[in-house]
Structures are given as structure tokens and as C-alpha cells.
Amino acid sequence: MLKKLESYKRRNNELVERDLEFYLNNDYKISPYYEALRISIIYGIIGALWILLSDRLLGKFITNMDIYIEVATYKGWLYVLITTILIYLLVLKRVILVEKTLKTIASNFEALSANNEELIALEDELRKKFEELEKQNDALLISEQRYELAVEGADCCIWDWEVEKDKYYFCVNWKSYLGYENGEVENTLQGWINLIHQEDKINVVSQINDYILSDSSSYESIYRMVCKNGEEKWVLSKAKAIRNSDGKIVRMAGSHTDITEQKLIQNQLNSLAYKDMLTELPNRLSFELKVNELINTDKNNDSNTKFALLYMDIDNFKHVNDTLGHTSGDLLLKYISNILKYQVKAPDFVARLGGDEFAIIFEDIKNKQEIIDKVQKLIKYLRRPWVIDKQEFFISHSIGIAIYPEDGDNLSTLLKNSDVAMYFVKKNMKDNYCFYLQEIQEENSKKIKIINDLRRAIENKEFNLFYQPIIDLNSEKIIGVEALIRWFHPIRGMIPPMEFIPLAEENGLIHDIESWILETALMQKKQWEDMGYADLKMSINISGKSVTREGFINEVKDLLSRVKIKNDNIQFEVTETALMNDLNTSIKVLREIKDMNIKIALDDFGTGYSSLTYIKKLPIDVVKLDKDFIKNISKIEEEEVIVDYVIKLTHQLNLKIVAEGIEIKEHLEFLKLNGCDYGQGYFFSKPITKEEIEKLLNIG
């Protein structure tokens, strides 16, 4: 554009200079007055000379008047001719000069007009360019303002490092953002590094050096910076580099962004994803990742590493929720979790899988004894009493153990086998631990076979009822019997109830079995009433599944209306464990049973949570003290104190108490001495057939 303008200017100057030179160098100057006077004088001189000289010459040479007159006429025409030619020549020269001038002016005018048009067009173009530059300038200003606002609003810092001179520039506002005055931080890379968290410095310096030595196009790093007040800020640092012809970095420039809030959110999300919110232990996902990591590390490194996976479950945890409430249940989970956190140290690992289930990993184990030592130490702490609302509860746990790789070389198998071992403990002993064995799996297979045989037994009626006498301890007379089911397997012979009743409950077969028990026992009660033993109580065990089963009450009512016996001598026995599975529903059903004038006995008291406080909530008439309390009363003084306390407290609640498992005379004497109402056990009689009961009744 400027070159065009210079060209036009140069061309116009050349035209002006050329014309000026023409006029300055031309001898003929055009002046209106001068030119008119000059022509007039020339004409006058020529005319005067012509008259003076021509007349004299004529008069000298011509004397004849006629010839004179004729010659004078010719002379006049000659004068006119000569003057005409002279005037023509004088005027012609001036007209030619004017013509040339006018042509030059016209030519230059046309050139100037063309240049003027181009100048006008150029002016328009310049104006547009100017307007465009103004717009670009305004846009640049807005962009700069937007950038400054964005940087300030985004907690972003622009930085620039001249590598060779080690001059490090970053925003002054970020120095104040970190709590420092401008002069407190050196404008060098080291000045910036001094602000980085001590734990992150080595990594940051290493990343910068690696970037300088690499041919990577961009640099990125995340680290913590320490404010003047000690507060930590997470920073995302990004940069690009300028390299010289040798590929060496001479300059780096980029941004520092405060990502503290994002990091906080990320940590919270990680906690939600990998931590149990109630106990703050690692959750199931964390546990699975940990196990898979150990397995993959062992397989990749071929290190022959062993680790133990412990599957732990709180025994009867649902009872705590039902009796004390879910808030107390949560407190129990936190209490147990705190014990596990304190006892399970890294590199060992503990996680909550869900509900009342926990998983523990003992890493790099050498032998089983090492596992046993750790488990026993852990159980020692877990068995300590849990105190809530000034009450002590003794919480038991079942733990199953599977060892990698003997018991499984993948997560699924290890988890399944440790779970199998845990359930073996829960079903057989509780409050203990067990290593996974093939025998346990075989036991499970055996249970599956029993379930199949049980289905056939229901169809083939392979069951029978035996009866164990219940004795009034004061008179030592039979006041009732407890109906106990026996299964006579066609191949295995008699199978005890504890071997098949739990399986029947788990698999939904208990309904058919219990319906048969109720009908058989009540029909037998009716038969004994007809024989004159109307006051003989019939005690029948009821499954917890039946208590909460819809239609159970109507079924009992229908059966009683068909059998037509005295309801007040019928007693249903339910275990405290069964009731705790759904306490509110159980209480409702038990009240409906009592409304039918049927007595309720709480069976196996002492095998669950053994809290007498909830007995007051239950509509029961009798408490049956479990045989485990009775067997040691002549050996362990503490057991005697407990039994005595339970008897007295039960009486204070206006309930009767039955002691199970009386096997020796010392048991009987202690119980009679401490006011126990009733008893049953092998000291009196084992469970026997109806015919044998009738013999005892006839004797008694």
C-alpha cells in the first residue's frame, strides 16, 4: 500500500517538474498586454516604413499618374498581404504555444485525474485498512482484557523461563495468591521450586529435567505448593518449549493452574469409590483390586508368594439391629472396624465387604502357624465386651481362611473357599476360625445330597416324633413333654434334627416338615387327653421361618379347630435367634399365638446375644436355659453365678424357667436349690417313643 502511494507521488512530481522545466526554458513568454502591444508596434513600424519608403520609391520611379495609381493599388494589396502574413506568423507562433500548453495541461490533467482516482481508491482502501486495524486493535484489547480476567478468574498463572539465563517470570498476582510479597520470591526456577511441597520437589525437578532431555512437544506436571501460611495448593503446570537449531530448549512458557478444589473432589470421589463410608475401611472394590494386584504380581514375577484371605462375619449381627436398632448396629460395625484398623497393619490389608462381612489379607506368609498366631491375636481383641448404653455384649465372629495359591489362584475361587470355611465355622462352632479344607467342600456336597433326600423323605413320610419328659423339679413329676422330630433314613438310619432342620430352613422345606410335626404332635396330645392325661403339656418347636411366614396363624387355628384339644396345655418353643431375625413381626405373631391361649417358651436362651433386656418386649411365658450353661455348673463357679442370676431375674419378670441338659444329680440339686421351676435331660430321660412315654406316665 505504501509502495503504491510512493509511486503515485513520484509520477505526479515528474509531470509537474517536466512542465515547469518546459515553461522556464521556453523563450516565448505569453503576456496578454505585452503580446498585444508587441504585435501592434510591429504592425505600426512595418506600416509606417511601408508608407514612407513605398511612396518615395513609387514617386521616384513612376511619373505617370495612371500607372502610379495602379501601382499604388497593387502596393496596397501587397501591404495587406505582407501584413497579413506577418500577423499570421506572429499569431501562429503564439497560438501554437497556447495549443501546446493546452495540450500539455489537458494531458497532465488527464494523468492527474487518473492519479486522483487512484488516490481516491487508495484513500478508501487506506480508510478500510485503518478501520480494520482499529477493529483488530479493539478485538486485541478485548481479548487481552478477557485473557486477564480469565487468568484471574481461573486462578491461573502465566510463567516464562529463559533456560540459559535462568530468568523465571510468573504473575505477581500469584505470588500474592500464595501469600508472598513480590520481593520475597526470586525470579529464578529455584525460587519457584522453593515453594513446592517438600515431598514433591524431587519428582518435579526430575520431570523438568526429563522434559529438557526429551523431544516431547509439551510438559505437564501436578504437584503441591506451600503458601506462606502453610496451606497447601495443588497446581497443574503446563508448558511448551522453544528449541534452537540444535534442538536444545532455550525457553519454556506455560501456565500454572490451581486445581486444589478438583483434587479435593477427586479425593472425595475416590473415597466414595474405594472406601466404605460408614467404617472408612477400604470397600469391596478396593479389596478386589488388592487381591488381583497380589495375584498378578506373583504370576508376573514368578515369586511364589503366599497370602491368606480371611472372610469374617459377625455372628447374629441382625439381632443387634432388631433389638437395639440400626444406629447401635452401625456403632458395633464402627467398633469392630476400629479394632481391625488397629490390629491389621500394612502390608496386611482389611476391608468391609458389606453388611457385617469383612475381609482381611495377610501378605507374604511363610506357614499356617504364622496365620494362626495373627488370627488368634485378632480374635483376642474381638472377644472383648462391647459396651453400649452401660450394657456389655459379647460379640462372636466366624472366620474362614483360604490360602493363595493352594486354595485358589484367582479372586473368585479364594473368596468362595474362604466363604465356605466361614460358614462351616458359623454352622458348627461360631466365634472361631477355620482353614478351608477339601473336606469342607465335601461336606457341602453331602449337604446337597441330604437336601435331595429330605425332599424324598417328606413325600415318603420318613419322620417320626420322639418325646422328652419335662419334669417339675420340686415334685420330680412329669408335667409335660417336648416333641422332637427324628428322621429315619432308609440307608443311613436315624439322622439327628441338627443335621437336617437348618438345611430345611435354608431351602424352604421347613414348612412341610413343621406342618407334619404340628399335626402329629397335636393328634398325639388329643390321644393322651382321651387316655386321661389332659393336663400333660405338649411343647412343640417352631421354626423362626414359620413365625414370620404368612398364613402360619391361620394354619394353627385351622388345625386346632379340627383336633379339638385344650389350648392352655400347648406350648410353642422358639429360639431367641429365630425371633431376632425379624423382632417386630415375631412379637406380633407371638401375641396372636398367646391370644389362642397357647404358651410361648423362649428356647436355647444363652446361645445368642443373651440380653435379658429384650425379654420384657417378648410375649413369652417360659425361658428355657440352654444346656451349655447347665453342664458346667458343678465345675465352674462363674457358670453357677450366671445360672443363679438368670433364674432370679426370670422370676422377677414373672416367667417360668426350664433348665435343659440336666445329666447328673449335682445339676438337679443346684437347680432345685436356686429355685429353678422345671428341667429336662438325660438324668430323667432321653427322648423316647410315645409308647415309652405312656409307660412312664402310667408309672408316675
pLDDT in tens, 449-506: 889 999 999 999 999 999 999 999 999 999 999 999 999 999 989 988 988 998 898 8
User: What does the pLDDT read at residue 74?
Assistant: 76
- Pick the closest to residue 614 from 590, 637, 640 (CA basis): 590
Instruction: Respond yes or no on whether the N-terminal peptide bond of residue 497 is cis (omega within 30° of 0).
Output: no
Listed by start position, the domains of the chain span 2-150, 156-266, 275-436, 453-699
Pairing of strands 463-472, 477-489: antiparallel
Digit-coded pLDDT (tens) for 34-69: 777 777 787 778 777 777 777 777 667 776 777 777
Helices marked H in 309-355: 317-324, 326-343
Mean local confidence (pLDDT), 96-120: 76
Mean local confidence (pLDDT), 613-641: 83
Alpha-carbon dihedral 93, 95, 96, 102, rounded to 10 degrees: 150
Q: How far is residue 312's CA from residue 357's CA, in Å, rounded to a whole number?
A: 6
Mean local confidence (pLDDT), 401-407: 94
Please count the other Cβ atoms lying within 10 Å of the Cβ belonging to residue 445: 10
Q: How many residues does the chain have?
A: 700
- Alpha carbon of 48 to those of 39, 60, 84, 675: distances in Å? 14, 18, 15, 188
pLDDT confidence band for 677 (50 / 70 / 90) = very high
User: What does the pLDDT read at residue 136?
Assistant: 85
| Residue 347, pLDDT above cutoff 60 | yes
| Contact indicator for 462, 487 with CB cutoff of 8 Å | yes
User: What does the pLDDT read at residue 608?
Assistant: 56
Digit-coded pLDDT (tens) for 212-255: 888 888 899 999 999 989 899 999 999 998 888 888 888 898 88
User: What does the pLDDT read at residue 13?
Assistant: 56
Mean local confidence (pLDDT), 383-411: 88
- Alpha carbon of 53 to those of 46, 66, 496, 600: distances in Å? 10, 20, 184, 182
Mean local confidence (pLDDT), 361-385: 92
- Alpha carbon of 177 to those of 173, 204, 226, 228, 238: distances in Å? 6, 21, 11, 10, 19
Please count the other Cβ atoms lying within 10 Å of the Cβ belonging to residue 505: 18
User: Residue holding cell 495602379?
Assistant: 70
Pull the grid cell for residue 307: 497370602
The CATH class of 275-436 is alpha beta
Percent pLDDT > 90 in the chain is: 41
User: What does the pLDDT read at residue 467?
Assistant: 97
Mean local confidence (pLDDT), 254-272: 84
Helices marked H in 603-654: 627-630, 637-652
| Residue 91, pLDDT above cutoff 80 | no
User: What does the pLDDT read at residue 149?
Assistant: 63
- Alpha carbon of 622 to those of 71, 413, 477: distances in Å? 188, 46, 18
Superfamily holding 453-699:
EAL domain (3.20.20.450)
| Contact indicator for 373, 314 with CB cutoff of 8 Å | no
User: What does the pLDDT read at residue 313?
Assistant: 94
Q: How far is residue 424's CA from residue 668's CA, in Å, rounded to a whole number?
A: 34
Q: Which has more confidence, 4 or 499? A: 499
pLDDT confidence band for 12 (50 / 70 / 90) = low
| Residue 131, pLDDT above cutoff 60 | yes
Q: How far is residue 91's CA from residue 84's CA, in Å, rounded to a whole number?
A: 10
**SS3 (DSSP) at 337:** helix
Digit-coded pLDDT (tens) for 587-605: 899 999 999 999 999 988 8
Digit-coded pLDDT (tens) for 148-179: 665 565 557 888 888 888 888 877 677 778 88
pLDDT confidence band for 29 (50 / 70 / 90) = low
User: What does the pLDDT read at residue 53?
Assistant: 74
User: What does the pLDDT read at residue 271?
Assistant: 74
Q: Which has more confidence, 299 or 358? A: 358
User: What does the pLDDT read at residue 444?
Assistant: 77
| Residue 423, pLDDT above cutoff 60 | yes
Choose the most confident range, by mean pLDDT, from 10-14, 105-109, 513-517: 513-517
User: Residue holding cell 502574413?
Assistant: 85
Lowest-pLDDT choice from 329-343, 568-582, 639-653? 568-582
User: What does the pLDDT read at residue 454?
Assistant: 93
pLDDT confidence band for 21 (50 / 70 / 90) = low
| Contact indicator for 350, 333 with CB cutoff of 8 Å | no
Mean local confidence (pLDDT), 676-683: 96
User: What does the pLDDT read at residue 404?
Assistant: 95
| Contact indicator for 383, 431 with CB cutoff of 8 Å | yes
User: What does the pLDDT read at residue 464?
Assistant: 95
CATH of 156-266, one of 1.10.150.20, 3.30.450.20, 3.40.50.2000, 3.40.50.300: 3.30.450.20
Lowest-pLDDT choice from 14-18, 104-108, 328-332, 570-574? 14-18
Q: Which has more confidence, 122 or 454? A: 454
Average predicted confidence (pLDDT) for the chain: 85
Pull the grid cell for residue 166: 535462568
